[in-house]
Amino acid sequence: MRKIFMTLLLAMPFAFASAQQVIRLYDGVAPGSEGVEDNERVNRDANGRIQTISGVVTPSITVFLPEASKATGTAVILCSGGGLMSHSWGSDVLNMAAWLNERGIAAIGLKYRTRVMGGMPGGMGRPQGGMPGAQGGMGLSAEVYEFDKLVRSNANPDTSEGGQKNIDNAIADALRAMEIVRAHAGEWHIDVKKIGYLGFSAGGGVGLGAVVRADDNHHAAFMATIYGPSLIDVDVPSNAPKLFIATRGNHHNVAAGLLSLYVDWKKAGGNAEMHLYDDGTGPFGPDDTGNTCGTWRESFYRWLCFNHLN
């Protein structure tokens, strides 16, 4: 039987959510990770709150449910950033989960498998879950107006065999997470028709990969990606969910990948909304009130209300 771990409910500031359950995605070793040494590392701040997690071999979901009186039936599977090498858990999961719960939305933090040995090419990775280095590692180099350089909206700079396995494992974990959330929907007061993904940076690529590869049993109601382009070839599904995109227009490679994705989604007849901010060049946080991109969360919430909360 799948192991379910009940976490201690800690007194936390408002900005952070308290987990209610942690559920392993697989009963045994995750398929594709046989023989890989578990070397998970958790980095905490001075108050003991988790900030980042790396070396993930045993994937899981962490469940954050709103008060029953507030529950809307909508659930968001949160895919944190970190260049597929780590998880920006504090900002992308704990912070966002608290914000979503306040609005009656269930939040499911996905701790997908990360790269365990070695680094991504080209000096990839940046603090707080940024996407790969500006020059694209394996030769990808495109400004937003050069989006047509991308083939099938694939913005993954790591074309190595190991890099492909890394994203494949993470996508498999995202699909498994959807399966588990659907199975517990009744227990968690979730409507199976209102479950979707919200991904940051590389986590956006993970969520998008799950949407592209999903069958009817893993179909997402919506997909939101925040400065996270696709990391695999995109064939827009015939039943593609509504897509929300937010990024800075000068975020090298990332903006081009997301504009390419937006165009491909629309060409396929899908519903897509895109927010391009011109106030910087890289990632941004949910509380970045000093820039116009700091409004993305409210835009996302309004989009969600019009499409999935009513």
Query: What is the reported pTM?
Result: 0.89
Q: What contacts 24+ positions apart, CB below 8 Å, involve 7-10?
A: 7/62
Q: Tokens 């940051």, residue?
A: 200
DSSP 140: -
Check: CB of residue 64 under 8 Å from CB of residue 108.
Answer: yes
Q: How many CB atoms lie within 10 A of CB 308?
A: 22
The tens place of each residue's pLDDT in the chain, 310 residues long, gives 444 433 333 333 345 677 789 999 999 999 999 999 888 999 999 999 999 999 999 999 999 999 999 999 999 999 999 999 999 999 999 999 999 999 999 999 999 999 975 433 333 333 333 344 333 335 689 999 999 999 999 999 888 898 999 999 999 999 999 999 999 999 999 999 999 999 999 999 999 999 999 999 999 999 999 999 999 999 999 999 999 999 999 999 999 999 999 999 999 999 999 999 999 899 987 667 778 998 999 999 999 999 866 5
Check: CB of residue 181 under 8 Å from CB of residue 77.
Answer: yes
